[in-house]
Each structure stands twice: as structure tokens, then as C-alpha cells.
Structure 1
Amino acid sequence: MSKKDDDNISEDYPYQWTPKSEGNLQDFLGKYKPSMVQNDGTKPWLWVAKSDRPREVEDAEAAIKEAADYLTEVTDRVQKIQNDDSIPVRANKKKGLKSKKELREEVQNEATQKLKEIAVRHGYVSGKWLIFAPPEKVDMIWSSLANSLVSGPLSSTSAFLAKVATSPQNDTPNYSHLICVYMPDAYDQGSVTEVMKVLLRNHGINLMGVKTNLYTSIGLDSKHPSGVSSTVWKNTALMKDTEIKALKDEYYAELNAAKTAAVEEAASKKAESGAATRPKPKPKLKDKAGADDPFASDDEGDTEDTKPTSKKAAKPAPSSGSKAKRPVPKKAKVANDFASDSDDGEAEAARKAEVKAKKAGTTKKRKGAELDEEVEEEAPKKKRGRA
């Protein structure tokens, strides 16, 4: 597979999703995860497209050939500077001599401008933001970006395509998955910055710069012997470090707030669920006044239940220290079963006579006492002598 093919996919490539695909995006992302799909030489990338891809540039091949030839020339010039012993390692301002580094940078900067001119002239200006994701986070990052591209914040930008590298077939230490977010014009500073802000604010991603598809096609990477920069935009050329940090801080603050809210909501639901499933306490049985009588009939029980309860409170029992007055028992009449009616009449007459005699005696005593009092009042009072 050539370098040019890294930015192009055939219609029959099975590891891609477009709006025309049979399944939905979620099924595709669940079935093909970059951490699980191994590259055996036939599936190096997973692709997701927002819409139909822009028509390929007809003059792309001419642009690639011209740029590749020019890059070869630049590489030779850089090598000559490096091998020229007459050029000092350090600059000498007094003699007006430039260092090897300064001369190399002049050639490299000139090459960057020339490559841009070739790309614009041929209309081959598409490019991508570069992102590297560790294996333990690549699935989450890729899924988030893919959804954002199709129906999220990225869908309102010029970004139209994204891809992620699958896993190497053999274990590779410190391996990172490359993710690319494609834009139609990598030299359009406004649209490139717009995509950058979304990637920072809505995804909190560390960006590695913008690279044109032309650079990929001619094999220009960070290890190229020419030393020409492999990106046309660096982060700080588009935004200040303080602005980049502020956008990422907003993303992580929002993420933490969402996590906290989710934890609180889960705790609330758990509490509500626990309260709903908690068994209700069984009602306590009232103690019966007495033990159940197995020989009692239902009628007897009903009769007792229907009796009205007395409203009078039971009198408290007298304390042991106080003397309770006992009622004087009345003399009971002794019944004489052998007494006749005449005997009863005689006894009654005798009792009445006795009562009458007692009353007469009492009257005489009262009259005698009154007579004595009258005699004492009529007696002359004795004169008292002088002291």
C-alpha cells in the first residue's frame, strides 16, 4: 500500500462506515474497535465519513510528482550543507558567516513555501489534524470523535472524514494509535482553527499539528532526511498556549461535573430503590386478656365481644399503709323455719312497746333538765364583796 493510499479508501473496503452503509454507526463502532482489530496488512485503518467524500483532485498525481522531485532536490541541498566543512558549526557575525543550522533552516523554510505553492496550484490542498492515542484509551477517543463527526460538534465544521490506526500484529513497545481528522483545505487558517477549537473544547485532545495529504503522498514525515517540517500548522501558530489551556480546562471541568452528577443520580436512584423494596413492618398482634379456651363456642366469644365496656374506671386498690374503713355488716335476721304467724305478731307488738317506753324516758329526762335550768335563773344572785 502506497503512502497516497493512506488518505484514500476504496468503496469495497470493509472497515469503513459512511451514511450509505447498511448498519448504523454504533454497530460499526462496537464491532470494529481499534484496540481489537489487528493489522495483518489488509486492514491498517478504520474509517468514518460524515457524508460523501469530496471528489478527488484530478491533478493530484501531477502535484505529487512535482512535489516529490522538489523534495529530493531539497534533501540533496541539506546534505551538502551538512557535509561542507567550510561552513562553520557556529555563526560568526564579525565575518558574516552563517552556521550550518541557519543555512539548513533557510532551505527548509523555502521548501515549505514551495510545497504550498505546488499544492495550491494543483488544487491538492486537503489535510488533517494529527492525534495520537494510547492503546488503553483509543477506543473511547475514537468513538467520541466518530460520533462528533457524524452528529456532534464536529459535524458543524469543515471536517468530513476521520480514521484511526488498528493494532499492530506483533507487540510494539510504546505504540500509539494515530487518529486523523480530515479537512478539505489545510491551508485555510480560519476553518482549521475552527476544527481545532472543537477538538480542544469538546474532546480535550492533545493535538500534534496539521499535515497536508500532499506531504503524506511524498513521504514527508518527522524523520525525513530533508528536515523539512512535516506539518503546515503548529498549535501555537493558530492559538496561544493560554487559549489552548483554557479550552481544555473547560472540557475537563465539564467532564468532572458530569461525572459528579452521574454519581449523585445513581446514589439517589439506589436510595429510592432501597426504600421502595424495603419490607413493611408486620402489625403487632394485640395480647389477649386470657388464654384461648379450646372448649369455648363461637357464640360465647361473640357475646363477650359485643358487651359494652363500662365507662367507670376501676377503683384503685387501697395501699397497705392506709386503713380502709370496712362497712358495718347489718345484722342478718335469723330465719326460724318453725315460727308461726301469731308468734311473729306478738314479737312485733313487744318490740313496739319497748321502743315507746324508751322514747317516754328520754322525754322525761329532757323536761327535768329544762326545769332545773329555770330554777337556777330565778334564784337571787349573791352580791360580790369589795376586794
Structure 2
Amino acid sequence: MSKKDDDIVPADYQYEWSPKSEGTLQDFLGKCKPSMVQNDGTKPWLWVGKAERPEKLEGADAAVKEAAECLAAVTERVEEIQNDDSIPVRANKKKGLRSKKELREEVQTEATQKLKDIAVKHGYVSGKWLIFAPPDKVDMIWSSLANSLVSGPLSSTSAFLAKVATSPQDDTPNYSHLICVYMPDAYDQSSVLEVMKVLLRNHGMNLMGVKTNLYTSIGLDSKHPSGVSSTVWKNTALMKDSEIKALREEYFSELNATKSAAAEAAAAKKAEGGAATKGKSKPKPKKKAGAEDPFASDDDESKEEEKKPSSKAAAKPASKGKKPALKKKVPADDFASDEDDEDGEAARKAEVKAKKAASAPTTRKRKESESDAESVEAAPKKKRGRA
């Protein structure tokens, strides 16, 4: 892409946004960042424009042709002055000789006026404010200017288009991204001044002057051999240094105040959130009766012990008394004790005596057999009770 086409948005160029584009401006700025898009020769610029744009002038080509011829003639004349040994390096007022520098500046000033006349004659007067942005801040600056142009402070001015240079493929020392903010008439001082004030007061820009699109088309830049100034307006030609400085200071003071207020609000919100979290205690889980909580702390357990008497403490007084004696049942099996056998034996003897008194006397032999039977019956029972 030649320098002649640097001020023209290519047809169907994907790195350009306008209100007619499908996506939003924020989508475009998010996907196409100057620090990320590399120029491979086909995408040197990112563009953002308003809905209303000046149409391309029919007299632009004629203006470029005439201006290029003028610049070539000026360049030749400057070289002649530089190579003319009869012209002194320093002026000599006594001899009426002017220096090389004075003669060059005279030719250059005349050329600037001739180029303006050519631009006005053909209606090719559009131009742009020049801004340079460092790589680490270019995304932020570009986004701010693009939004301002479409829906911010710049939208109420004559500015209608903006572009920013993409990143070089190779590492370039001290590289800066050029940003251009376009205006329909670079020679309209009031219009240019209006845009200038917004760029200073609302964006804090460090401006580098105003350049016409005609200058770009004929290849006139700061390194051109003609030495003609590459800008039609310098900052100090429009405003005093003190006024420029004051507007930029207002912007940065307001920016710092906004940042401080935001930081204080964030700190207050954080402190309020911390206090609310600290004051709000978590509900303690209720313990189930007869079950221990494995996640309870020692403090929780001690508090619960203070509130409720422990089961051990409640049962302790009862443990001091004697245990109630269990009632013995009369054994009905073969494992009865000796005392139980003696009571039973006495009852049987009483029963035998009663029968003897009621019945006829028995023989001695029968008494002995009964006595033997009683002894035999009692012996095993005592033996089993001791087992």
C-alpha cells in the first residue's frame, strides 16, 4: 500500500469499523488491537469512522499532480542553494549577503503557501491531527479516541475518522504508533482548534501538529529533502504553551481524582464486607441426644457441659448408696444351695412325725430304711451345691 493511499480506507477492509459494520465498536476494539495486529504489508492501519464522512473529491488527483510538481521544483531550488558556494553559511549584513539558511527558509515558506493555494483551488483540504503513542499504552489510547469519536466528546466536533498504525513484524527500537484524527478542512482554524481542545482536555494527548492529506499524497514528511514543513499547523500557532499545558493538567487532575475516588470506594466496600463477615457468626449444629459430634471443638463441649449436668454427674450420688438386693427365687433345679436343702428336709421330717402320730407304729427296720434313704438323698444335693 503506497503512501498516496494512506488516507483512504480500502474497500472491504476487515480492519475497519463504521456504524454500518455488523459487530459493535467494542467487539472490533476487543478483537483488533494495535499492539496485537502485525503489519505484513496488507494491514498497516486500523480504522474507525463516524456515519457521516466527506465524499472523495474529484479534484483530488489534479491537486496531487500539481502539488507534486511544485514540491519537486522547491526541492531542486533548495539543493541549488545548498550547493552554491557563493552563498555564505552565515549572513553578512554589511555586504548585504544572506545565509544559506535564510534563503532556504524563504523558498520553503513560499512553497507552503503555494501548496495551500493548490489544495484550496481543487478542494482537497482535508487533514488530520498527528499523535504518537508508545506500544505499552497504544491500546488504551486508541480505544479512548475511537469511543470518543463515535459517541463521546469528539463526536460533536468536525472530526469524522481515525486510524492507528499496527505493530511491525520485526522488533523496532523506540517504535511508536502513529494515530491520526481526521478533519474535513485542515485550514479551517476554528474547526481545527475545536478538535485540539477536546484532544487536550478530554484525552490529555501530546499533539504533534496538523498535516493535510495532500501532503501525504505527495510524500511530504519531516525527512523530505525539500525541508518544507510537513505540518500546516503547529501547536503553538493555535494556542499558547501555557494554555496547552493547563488543559492537559486539567485532564490528568480529573483522571487522578477519579482513580482516587474509585480506590477509596473499593477500599470502603472491602472493609464493609469484612466487618459484615466478622460480625456474622455461623449457626452451631445441634447435638443429637446420646451421640457425640465429631466436628465439635473443645470450647463447644465445655460450654455444653456448663449448661447441662453430665450424665455421669447426675448418676454419681446414686452410686454412693447400696445396690438393692435381688429377690431370690426358690430353686427348682439340681443346683440349689445347702440352706435350701436343710429347709426342705425339716419340712419333710415334720410331715413324717405327723404321719407317725396318726398311723400305727412301724417296725424298726422300716425306720432304718427311711433314715438311710434320707441320708442318701441329702448327700448328693450338698455336693452339687458346692460345685
TM-score range, shorter chain: 0.7 to 0.9
Per-residue displacement from partner, 1:34-69 (whole Å, max 9, x unpaired)? 000000011000000022321111110000000001
Q: Which residue does 2:130 correspond to in 1?
A: 130
Equivalences for 1:166-315 in 2 at 5 Å? 166-278=166-278, 280-281=280-281, 285=303, 288=306, 291-293=309-311
| Structure with a larger share of its residues in helix | 2
Q: Which residue does 2:31 correspond to in 1?
A: 31
Equivalences for 1:11-90 in 2 at 5 Å? 11-90=11-90
Please, what TM-score do these two structures have when normalized by structure 1? 0.74
On the 8 A contact 1:18/1:52 being kept in 2, the answer is no
Shift of 1:291: 2.9
On the 8 A contact 1:159/1:183 being kept in 2, the answer is yes
Match of 1:110, SS state, is helix
Question: Take 2:173 and 2:48, find their aligned partners in 1: how far apart are those partners?
Answer: 27
Per-residue displacement from partner, 1:191-234 (whole Å, max 9, x unpaired)? 10010000000111100000000000000000000000000000
Question: Take 2:210 and 2:307, find their aligned partners in 1: how far apart are those partners?
Answer: 92
Shift of 1:249: 0.5
Per-residue displacement from partner, 1:172-191 (whole Å, max 9, x unpaired)? 11110000000000000001
Please, what TM-score do these two structures have when normalized by structure 2? 0.74
Q: Which residue does 2:339 correspond to in 1?
A: none
Per-residue displacement from partner, 1:344-386 (whole Å, max 9, x unpaired)? xxxxxxxxxxxxxxxxxxxxxxxxxxxxxxxxxxxxxxxxxxx
Q: Which residue does 2:381 correspond to in 1?
A: none
Shift of 1:280: 3.1
Structure 1 unmatched ranges of 5 or more? 298-387
Runs (4 or more) in structure 1 with deviation over 2 Å come to 275-297
Match of 2:163, SS state, is strand
Match of 2:205, SS state, is coil
Structure 2 unmatched ranges of 5 or more? 285-299, 316-387
Provide closer, same or farther for how the CA distance between residues 228 and 288 of structure 1 changes in structure 2, counting only shifts above 3 A.
Answer: closer
On the 8 A contact 1:183/1:192 being kept in 2, the answer is yes
Match of 1:46, SS state, is strand
Match of 2:180, SS state, is strand
Question: Take 2:52 and 2:20, find their aligned partners in 1: how far apart are those partners?
Answer: 9
Q: How many residues align?
A: 297
Aligned residues: CA RMSD = 1.8
Identity of aligned residues (%): 79
Match of 1:91, SS state, is coil
Question: Take 1:290 and 1:105, find their aligned partners in 2: how far apart are those partners?
Answer: 104
Per-residue displacement from partner, 1:246-286 (whole Å, max 9, x unpaired)? 00000010010011001001101111222233363479857
Matched to 1:47, the amino acid is W
Question: Take 1:290 and 1:168, find their aligned partners in 2: how far apart are those partners?
Answer: 80
Equivalences for 1:129-148 in 2 at 5 Å? 129-148=129-148
Question: Take 2:307 and 2:192, find their aligned partners in 1: how far apart are those partners?
Answer: 90
Q: Which residue does 1:311 correspond to in 2?
A: none
Matched to 2:21, the amino acid is S
On the 8 A contact 1:45/1:164 being kept in 2, the answer is yes
